[in-house]
A and B are shown apart, each in its own frame.
Chain A
Amino acid sequence: MATYNKHILVCGGSCCTSGNSAQIADNFKSTLAEKNLSNDVQVIQTGCFGLCDQGPVVKIMPDNTIYTHVKPNDVRRIVEEHIEGGKKVEDLLYVNPITGERVEDNKEPNKFHKKQIRIALRNCGVIDPENIKDYIAHDGYMALAKCLTEYTPEQVIEVVSASGLSGRGGAGFPTGKKWASSARAKADQKYVVCNADEGDPGAFMDRSILEGDPNSVLEAMAICGYAIGADKGLIYIRAEYPLAIERLKIAISQAEEMGLLGDNIMNSGFNFHIELRYGAGAFVCGEATALIHSMEGKRGEPTFKPPRTSEKGYNLKPTNVNNVETYANVPIIITKGAEWFSSIGTANSKGTKVFALAGKVNNVGLIEVPMGTTLREIIYEIGGGIKDNKKFKAVQTGGPSGGCLTERHLDIPIDYKSLTQAGSMMGSGGMVIMDESSCMVSIAKFYLDFTVPESCGKCTPCRIGNKRLYEMLDKITKGNGTMEDLEHLRNLSVVIKDTALCGLGQSSPNPILSTLDNFWDEYVEHVQDKKCRAGACKDLVQYEINPAVCVGCTACSRNCPVEAIKGELKKPHQIDNSICIKCGTCITKCKFNAIRIK
C-alpha cells in the first residue's frame, strides 16, 4: 500500500466544479503519474471548503497551503514548484480579504475559520465523498455500530433528545421528540425520510453536505431507522442537484457492499435499505406533507396536520422526516455524546448552524457557527465585511419565509428564538447580505415573485392573497403606489399568515412585514417622493453623465449594450434615457465615477 507524504485536496463543491475543478484534479493525477509521484502524493476530490467565491480551490496538506482561482493549466506549476521544489506558488496563494496579504500557511486559523465550529460539515473538504473508506477512517459508521451493539432504540432517542438537537430545516422542532413520536406509533411498516428538497433561493447547505459527506446522512438515517423501528429510508432530493444524486448513489452502493446498509447490518439482525426519490422543482415540497405526496407520485400539495407525518406519512405509515443538516449532526452526537453537543450553543438552541453566506460580502461561502454567534461576527469577521467598502444595509435570513434585519439587529446572538423575535427566522440557512444598492421594496417584491408561482393553489389565502400582495408591491416600485396601499399590504399580510393552510403561505408575507417594519421610510419614499434611494427601481430612476467629470474615454459608449450613449472622443458623453435599459454596465465601466443615478 502506498504511503503518501502529501495530499492534494481539490474542492469538488458546486462552485468549484463549475470552475472546472474535475479537470484540475485529473491534471494533478496525470502530472503526478508522469513524474512518478503517484505513490507519494494523493489527489482527493473533496466536498466544499466553504471558500466558494475563491474557487476553484486547492489545498496542499500537510503544508496547509490554500491556492485559489486555480486553473487547469496552473497544475504543472504547482506540482513542479511546490510539490517538487518545495516553494509555494506565490501568485495563487489565498488572499486574506481583510489584510490583503497572501497567506502561506493556513494552520493558524484566520478569522474565516476561527469563529467556526464544523460539526455538520466536519468531513466536507476533508474526505473523498466517493470513497466510503475515507469516511470510515474518519470514524464513519462508528455511531451506527455503537447504537446497534450498545444502545436500545429507546436509549438512542434519549441521547438525541438530551443533545437538544432541533430541526435544521428551519422550524427548529426538537429532533428527539419527533423520533419518539414515530417510535411510539404502532405499524407493520415505518419509514425514515430525508428532506433534501433544498428550495430556498440563496441556500446551498444541504447540497454541500450531500456532495461532500453523503455517508453521514446515510448513517444517521440508519440510526433513526433503528430508533423508530423502520427498515426503509427514502431521500427526497431535487433533480436540480445531479452531483449530489450521483454521490449519494455511489455512497449507497458502497455502504451496501460493505454490509453497512442492507440486511442484517453488522450481524445485528437490523435491516435498513435506502432509496432515492426525485423532486421536480416545487418549493412547496419542502413542506413535510407535500413532500410525502410528491414521493407517492402525486402533486405536491400539503394536507392538514394532524395527523402528523410521524403518525401517518408515506403510504399512510408512520414516517420520520428530517432535513439533511439535522441528520448530518446525528452520528457525531452518538459518538461524542449528548453532553458534548449540548455544551455548544445557547440556552434554547444547541449545537451549530450551517449558513450559506452570499450576496454583497467579501467572503461568500459555506460557514458553520455555534448558535449564539452574532450577525456582526458572521458578516464582519467571518464574512470579511461588505464588498467594495460599501455600507451594510440588511441581512436576509430564512429565504422566502424569513425577513430582512438591519444594523440594529447585528448584535443579537442568533438562535431560533431570537431571530423569530427580531421578525425573521432561522430558516434552512440562507443568509444574503445586502448593501445600500439593494432596494428593500424590490427585495420584498422579489420574494413574492418567487412565492406566487410556487403556491400549490390549494388554499385561497396563499393562491390569491400572495398575488394581490405582489401586485401592490409592483405598483409601488413603479411609482404608482398610495399610502393606502401600504396599509392594505400590512393587513393582507397578517390575514394570509393567519389563514393559510401550510408553512408556505403562513410565512410568505414575512419578507413584506419585516421590510415594512425595518424600512418604512423607503416604502414612503417610493410612494410619496416617487424615489428609489438604491436606484434599483427602474421606473423611478434616470441615468445621467456628469459632464464636469466625464473625460470622454468612450468606455461607456463602447460597452453600452443598446447604444444609448453618444458623444465624441475626449468630450463629455450623454445618455439617451429613452433608449437606456438601466443595466448598469456603464457605471461599472466608468473609471471616473461620472455616471450617476437620479
Chain B
Amino acid sequence: MSHIEINAEKLNIIKDICAQYDNRPSDVIHILHGVQGALGYLPMEVQEAIAKQLGIPVSRVYGIVTFYSFFTMEPKGEHPISICLGTACHVRGADQILEEFKRVLGIGVGQTTPDGKFSIDCLRCVGACGLAPVAMIGEKVYGRLTPNMVTGIIEEYN
C-alpha cells in the first residue's frame, strides 16, 4: 500500500485537536468530529495521524469512521446538499426531490460534481418535519420543496 504523507499544516491541526482532549482514546469520536470540521473529510492518512497521536491502532479509528454515517472519507462539495429522507419527508415526496437533484446535477448519492461545487447526501430526520420535504445546502434549510424548485435553488449557488 502506498503511503501518502500529510502536510505539516494539516498535521498541526490534527495534533492541536487531539491535544484539546489530552490525546485520550476515549474521546476519539469528539476528535474525529473536530478534525472533520477542520479538514472537511477523513482520508486514510488523516486517520493514521490521529491513531498515532492517540497511541491506538489505525484499525480502531477506521472502524469508527466507517461505523458512523456522520464521518466521511470522501471530500464533499463546496455546497454539500443533504436531502432529508425521514418519514415525514418521505410521505410528502422526498424521493422525487432527491431524483431531481440527482438529475439536475448529474451525480448520485455520495458523489461530488466534477467542478467540486456540489455533493449529494441523504440524511435521516433533520427534525424540521413541519416543513417536509426538506433539503439542506450547507447550513441553510429549504422546506416545502417541489421538484420544479430544484433548478432555481441550485442556480442560487452558481
Contact = CB atoms under 8 A, between A and B. Distances in A.
B136 to A, nearest CB: 9
Classify chain A's interface size: 35 or more
Contacts of A198: 127
A283 interface: yes
Contacts, number: 155
A52 to B, nearest CB: 3
Given A278-B33, A281-B68, A584-B96, A202 B129 contact: yes
B69 A359 contact: no
Given A14-B127, A297-B26, A281 B69 contact: yes
A529 interface: no
Contact of B130 (A240, A365, A581, A589): A365
Contact of A241 (B99, B127, B130, B131): B127
Contact of B32 (A280, A358, A438): A280
B105 interface: no
A396 B26 contact: no
A583 interface: yes
A281 B70 contact: yes
Interface string B128-142: 111110100000010
Interface string A352-364: 0000101110001
B87 A202 contact: yes
Main secondary structure of the interface of B (DSSP, over half): helix
Contacts of A298: 64
B69 A202 contact: no
A293 to B, nearest CB: 10
Nearest to B27: A297
A442 B91 CA distance: 10
B73 interface: no
B157 interface: no
A54 B88 CA distance: 16
B30 interface: yes
Nearest to A283: B124
Contact of B87 (A55, A300, A358, A561): A358
A18 B63 contact: no
A289 interface: no
Interface stretch (B6-14, B112-120, B143-151): B143-151
B67 A299 contact: yes
Given A201-B86, A446-B90, A561-B100, A294 B130 contact: no
A514 B100 CA distance: 32
Given A15-B143, A358-B87, A432-B87, A364 B130 contact: yes
A461 interface: no
Interface in A253-300: 277-283, 294, 296-300
A524 to B, nearest CB: 23
B29 A280 contact: yes
A588 B146 contact: yes
Contacts of A300: 67-68
A280 B131 contact: no
A47 interface: no
Interface in B57-98: 63-64, 67-71, 85-93, 96
A64 interface: no
Interface string B36-47: 000000000000
Interface in A543-598: 559, 561-562, 581, 583-585, 588-589
B145 to A, nearest CB: 11
A61 interface: no
A392 interface: no
A257 B127 CA distance: 31
Contacts of A153: none
Nearest to A450: B124
Contacts of B24: 297
B87 A359 contact: yes
B132 to A, nearest CB: 7
A562 B103 contact: yes
A358 B85 contact: no
Given A438-B91, A583-B147, A299 B63 contact: yes
A168 interface: no
B83 to A, nearest CB: 12
18 contacts: A14-B128, A15-B143, A54-B130, A55-B130, A201-B124, A204-B125, A208-B127, A240-B123, A240-B126, A277-B30, A278-B30, A281-B68, A281-B124, A359-B87, A364-B130, A399-B87, A432-B88, A588-B146
Interface of B: 24-30, 32-33, 63-64, 67-71, 85-93, 96, 99-100, 103-104, 123-132, 134, 141, 143, 146-148, 150-151
Interface of A: 14-15, 18-19, 52-55, 198-204, 207-208, 239-241, 277-283, 294, 296-300, 356, 358-360, 364-365, 396, 399, 430, 432, 434, 438, 443, 446, 450, 453, 456, 559, 561-562, 581, 583-585, 588-589
Given A204-B125, A280-B68, 16 more contacts: A15-B129, A52-B128, A55-B131, A203-B127, A204-B127, A239-B33, A277-B29, A280-B33, A280-B69, A281-B123, A358-B129, A430-B87, A432-B87, A438-B91, A443-B91, A583-B99
